[in-house]
Structure 1
Amino acid sequence: MEKIRLVQNKINPLVLPVIFADKLGYFEKFHVPVDLTVTETFQFAQKSSFVAGDVDAMMGDLTFYFDYRQHGKDAFVTTDLTRTIQLLAKKGAPKEGLRVGVARKGLFPFFMAHDLKTVLKQPEIVWINNTYERIQMLQNGEIDALVAIEPFITDILKTQSDTEILWHSKNSDKNMVMWCFDRKFYDNNVETVTNFHHALEAAAKNFNALSADDKVLQAIKIAQYTPEAAENLRHFTFEKQHNYATKDFELLADFLWQTGEVSQKYHTKDCLRKVF
């Protein structure tokens, strides 16, 4: 039985089920050997660690998966994730011609073609890959809105009281975030991968059942969050995991193919595996 090698950043709340499963014994209960390294901040370069074969699994938005495949990484998508992508704007900003700060790579073009086409009219897209730079530009009035994930959104709402949420990906009928595993690792360790997801589900369910105060305390005591960072989790709830939906995968695969973002058409039979 091989260990699942993982490198994840602690600041992303979606990593918490992994940390809790590790620290609270859920991996042990479900017989899942894990070699977990937790970093303190977002390490976007760690995506290349998956391509290089240094880790066995990654989470992120589904565009990451297609990027991995384009760089030669053979992998399967297993489950979806809790959705935290949001569009935040200055209160009262005109919805037509809104200056929106967005990372060049990611789901925004897809969402504009689907979920956001009724929310925004002729937005002016400002490409800013670094989330912290987007936040600063919003504060300086250089942009009117931005796309980001948690915990950044909650931080902005706290520090920039003149902002509001225009759209949350949880309101979508699609889920575009996922876990994926190296193909060879998955094929050799199907039961381990299945149990990994069951352990994460158990840890998330445990967290969801806690009171708001206890959620904060667990983040501090178990995940070693600062009190300030833990406060962002006071009302956080994890969505139930599902096998990744065929229709969602095909929708994005078609979009990326039609827009020339990928060099080949990817098919669910070759890319998805069920664990529930």
Structure 2
Amino acid sequence: MEPSKNSRRDSTQSQRDTRDPEGAQASRVEAGEAEAIDTTSENVMGSSQRASTHSSARASMDASGSQAREVFDPDIPSQEVLNAKTIDVVLFLLLKYRRQQHTFCKAEILYTVIRGYEDHFTSIFAKASDCLRLTFGLEIVEKNPRVHSYSLVHALGITYDGMRHGFPGVPKTGLVIMVLCIIFIEDNCASEHVLWRVLNNMGLYAGRDHFVYGDPGILVTEHFVQEGYLECRQMAGSNPPIKEYLWGPRAHAETTKMKILKFFASIVKQDPRSYPTRYADALQDEIDRA
């Protein structure tokens, strides 16, 4: 029988407590963080991978043929096991970020998190990196290829992490980047209707708590505006009044249209040049900054 999501989460927490005595006394925030990471990792990996959880299992019958059971090849771990290890890596790196320990090395992950699955480091690490980048807005940058040391940095130059906003203790940089993407793709100005239509399609609703971001409505309409990433104004000629959003001064100062376009293109798996008008706009922005 496939383990339940809750049992996997309990197993992950138990492993974490064993490795780190401090984790045994983790706050409710850290417990919620684990749940957020679990759910996020499943979302990132996709339903198709979850459907093949036991692809490496082999059903075999005993001598009498009366009982079937799953037999796992130790050299080919199930997708379920690899997914759980990916969750562990994401949780481990987020915990390091919370503790402001932004550097780590491959050997540390191999020994602390995925011992016994060293042959699968590349795929596990790649999925964990995607999850951190797309959801939390954190990028993994290799510092020293010789010893495989890395740093956790904010994606695209954004300096805000929103750790104290929304769901506490979890980076919100990913949502800042996503909103900037939407505004740029919408010709540098998005009405509140367009913005929330896209966010709703991503499962984000104003006034409804999200497992990572808390209430996205408060983040977008209050905190991101207060932090200078967004500018909110009334759409000209709208009656009743309609709000629209543009990049704020901090967004222009910290990132570029080309970085945002490339990030968006990577999500939809397109070449940035597939959006010729936006690409021309981004190129002009690069020239203006030179």
- TM-score tier, shorter chain, comes to under 0.3
From the two aligned structures, give the one with the greater strand fraction.
1
Larger Rg: 2
Structure showing greater relative contact order (alpha-carbon pairs closer than 8 Å, 6 or more residues apart): 1
Q: TM-score, normalised by structure 1?
A: 0.27
